[in-house]
């Protein structure tokens, strides 16, 4: 057997550290090649780290919930092979692995580009079977990295298994997951388990819940404040917004329009065979209108490259959709959205939003956007001044659709009205160009038939 350390790889986002959210393995476990070892949270997404080796886990260098530097060892293996193998020959004994993650290198297509996410309805490669869940009561030896000689090995109790949304719910309610008994598959702690813990229904130690059974942190400890570390998506979002706000000179414009014709069109299309069983809404139509308006106003689909002192013009639209998730704001994007018809956009939007809200969006899903939409109307908001997604020249905010009195054919009538808001980087987009873009989107939504004059 040959010993081998595995260091935290570069996950392809230019980051120097990641939070180790949970372990899927324990010391003594035998793992297969590409078997998930741990779940780590980068600035944008939760990522499972697959094992680059087949062998036996001998050490865990980091505890769940800690931040690990890229390049630091996180787990040690005894690799499969003969006991007489030397350090030099152990590499030959290692099974050849298929790269599956940024940092080892994503699967590569024939043209040299990373493989793209399969669209809805296409076959997907089989997912490696998850490792058996460790016993939450099992004590595991965790040894510091070899570079640290000042501390001795410690023992800890394995962190209870749960999903990111459930962990957030537990934090919000002041529930310690170590006190909760999981009723899900293989002891997984579910949302229902956390909610039951609030009323004292499934705590490992009932005394921790307090006699009132309220389950809130203030009732248990009397604390008047809660402090949460700035990390993960929140840390990335904050840094990106500050960089965008103080780098790109923002300009914003607004346009209020009667979208009754578009709302009537959507109602008609929903009854058609092409959209039966598909989610079609105003965001879908706005996404198509944006792609068409970008083609007529290409300056909004650019990037300012400060280092090269160049303006990068994109000849494709990777459409970002700002999405509120349990982990915070995420902006996954639809690759080559301008090449999709309305049916294709409806499918991609549904898949994108579901993936983001489930916390399974990959770094590739979140990278490479060129323009974005934020649907503030879903919260009942009329208009706003959105901040640009870093590296993009334009973002469109979609307000709430409201019935209100409006001039229609020379009379006052109740119509469905909304306000569009656009922010753009004034280094790249002049006021005239930004105005023409917004007017094009508005013209399409006010009268979808105008598309016949644009394409």
**DSSP conformation letters of 252-321:** EEEEEEE-HHHHHHHHHHHTSGGGTTS---HHHHHHHHHHHHHHH-GGGSEEEETTTTEEEEPSS--EEE
Tell me the C-alpha distance between 158 and 177, whole Å.
11
Give tens-digit pLDDT for 100-137.
Answer: 454 444 444 444 444 444 444 444 444 444 544 444 44
Which residues, 6 or more positions from 10, have their beta carbon under 8 angstroms from its beta carbon? Answer: 70, 71, 102, 103
Query: Considering the entire predicted model, what is its pTM?
Result: 0.57
Instruction: Report which secondary-structure segment, H or E, holds 349.
Output: helix 342-357
* Phi/psi of residue 386, nearest 5 degrees: -65, 150
What residues of the chain score a pLDDT lower than 50? 82-100, 102-129, 131-158, 202, 205-219
Residue 102: predicted pLDDT: 43
Residue 148: predicted pLDDT: 40
Active site residue 426: yes
Domains of the chain and any CATH numbers: 2-104+115-157 (2.40.50.100), 164-221 (4.10.320.10), 233-453 (3.30.559.10)
Residue 272: predicted pLDDT: 93
Residue 336: predicted pLDDT: 97
Q: How far apart are the first and last CA of the chain?
A: 66
Residue 155: predicted pLDDT: 38
Residue 131: predicted pLDDT: 47
Q: Which of 24, 137, 250, 426 is catalytic?
A: 426
């Amino acid at each position: 057997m040959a010993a081998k350390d595995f260091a935290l790889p570069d996950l392809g986002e230019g980051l120097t550290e990641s939070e180790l959210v949970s372990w899927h393995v324990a010391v003594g476990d035998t793992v297969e090649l590409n078997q998930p070892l741990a779940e780590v949270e980068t600035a944008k997404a939760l990522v499972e780290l697959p094992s680059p080796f087949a062998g036996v886990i001998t050490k865990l260098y980091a505890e769940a919930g800690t931040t690990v530097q890229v390049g630091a060892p996180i787990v040690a293996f005894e690799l499969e092979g003969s006991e007489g193998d030397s350090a030099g020959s152990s590499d030959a004994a290692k099974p050849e692995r298929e790269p599956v993650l940024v940092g080892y290198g994503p699967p590569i297509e024939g043209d040299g580009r990373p493989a793209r996410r399969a669209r809805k309805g296409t076959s997907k490669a089989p997912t490696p079977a998850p490792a058996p869940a460790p016993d939450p009561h099992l004590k595991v030896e965790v040894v510091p990295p070899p570079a640290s000689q000042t501390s001795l090995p410690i023992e800890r109790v394995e962190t209870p298994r749960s999903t990111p949304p459930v962990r957030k719910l537990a934090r919000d309610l002041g529930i310690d997951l170590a006190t909760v008994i999981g009723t899900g598959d293989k002891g997984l702690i579910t949302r229902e388990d956390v909610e039951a813990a609030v009323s004292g229904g499934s705590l490992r130690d009932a005394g921790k819940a307090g006699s009132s059974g309220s389950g809130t942190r203030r009732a248990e400890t009397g604390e008047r404040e809660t402090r949460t570390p700035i990390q993960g998506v929140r840390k990335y979002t904050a840094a990106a917004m500050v960089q965008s706000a103080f780098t790109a000179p923002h300009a914003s414009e607004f346009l209020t329009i009667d979208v009754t014709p578009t709302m009537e069109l959507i109602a008609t299309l929903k009854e058609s065979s092409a959209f039966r069983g598909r989610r079609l809404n105003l965001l879908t139509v706005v996404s198509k209108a944006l792609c068409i308006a970008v083609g007529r106003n290409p300056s909004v689909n650019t990037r300012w490259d400060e280092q090269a002192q160049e303006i990068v013009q994109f000849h494709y639209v990777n459409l970002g959709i700002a999405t509120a998730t349990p982990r915070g704001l995420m902006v996954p994007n639809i690759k080559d959205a301008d090449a999709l018809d309305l049916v294709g956009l409806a499918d991609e939007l549904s898949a994108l939003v579901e993936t983001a809200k489930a916390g399974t969006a990959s770094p590739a899903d979140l990278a490479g956007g060129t323009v974005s939409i934020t649907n503030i109307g879903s919260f009942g908001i009329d208009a706003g001044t959105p901040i640009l997604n870093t590296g993009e020249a334009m973002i469109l905010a979609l307000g709430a659709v409201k019935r209100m009195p409006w001039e229609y054919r020379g009379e006052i009538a109740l119509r469905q009205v909304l306000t569009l808001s656009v922010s753009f980087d004034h280094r790249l987009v002049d006021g005239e160009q930004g105005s023409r873009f917004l007017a094009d989107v508005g013209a399409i939504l006010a009268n979808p038939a105008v598309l016949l004059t644009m394409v």
